[in-house]
A and B are shown apart, each in its own frame.
Chain A
């Protein structure tokens, strides 16, 4: 995947050479997102939701022949699509890393994201109906997320599926490119389940930040509100047992996915699930003793 990411960044650099000022701003922004000075390193980090690797893993799972140019194009498209969504989200959230002067880059990213597929699918191909409905899904998710006061498991699954919908586009492209439309339902369900894991992991580790912003609602905080003793502060339940409950919940989702992983995403997906589940356990193991120590103060704290 590293080589495909390198190729994608080289292509982006070449495409932006016609607009040097935009090129400078885009790469400065990407460098700010990256953990190193290399903007591409942002996309080389391990991800709970493997947006770049998943299409190729699905292709392997389908038994499709290697198609390097196709997966290079998908990688480039997905990076551009991610940048489009991330840029708009960050500007809307007032993130200091995203200068509103960067907004013209959204047009570039969207064009690059969509154009890659035009090589493989004619304008009237059914792929484009999938493309449109999935691309609009993320917008619907933002609206649905904002209007809810509490979130049930069913609502969480529905919203997570909508949020992950843009990542389904290269998966749909992979199935249709290889003439396997009947394989789509199981692969889209896989995306939904990976999306739930990624969203719950985010919500679990961001619980404190979310709790400090009263307008934010997550499934994890909603569940904390439902499960805590009425006399117990919400944070006390999370520290005492809620965080561990969240970890066990995510692990149960990983366990359920493992049974289907090899058939849906080959060895690559199976390995990814094992690594991510182990990383979750490792991170949680380092936090839980301190959380429980803090929880012990809840009973004596006068607030």
Chain B
């Protein structure tokens, strides 16, 4: 079964190796989760604002630490 979008988001947020591979080696990263690397998908992945996504991970950890 293909990885759902929610699962992709979770993996990108929590798995730094997968996140790096999805940016730099999208074909391999997609294959590792059973997704066919179509040209459209690979092109979309290359066009993504990756620096902002990498920042989400560290900022999310900091933000999640807030005390209520």
Contacts and interface: CB of A to CB of B under 8 A. Distances in A.
B68 A302 contact: no
B66 A283 contact: yes
Contacts of A198: 68
Interface residues of B, number: 37
Contacts of B52: 289-290, 292-293
A291 B9 CA distance: 9
Interface of B: 2-10, 12-13, 35-36, 38, 40-41, 44-45, 47-50, 52-57, 59-60, 62-68
Given A46-B67, A47-B67, A233-B4, A239 B9 contact: yes
Nearest to B8: A301
A211 B14 CA distance: 14
Contact of B68 (A35, A202, A236): A202
Among A46, A287, A292, the one with the most B-chain Cβ atoms within 10 Å of its Cβ is A287
Among A286, A292, A297, the one with the most B-chain Cβ atoms within 10 Å of its Cβ is A297
Interface SS of B by simple majority = helix
A302 B36 contact: yes
B49 to A, nearest CB: 4
A234 interface: yes
Nearest to A239: B9
B56 A294 contact: yes
A283 B62 contact: yes
B5 A208 contact: no
B62 to A, nearest CB: 7
Contacts of B64: 205-206
A289 B55 contact: yes
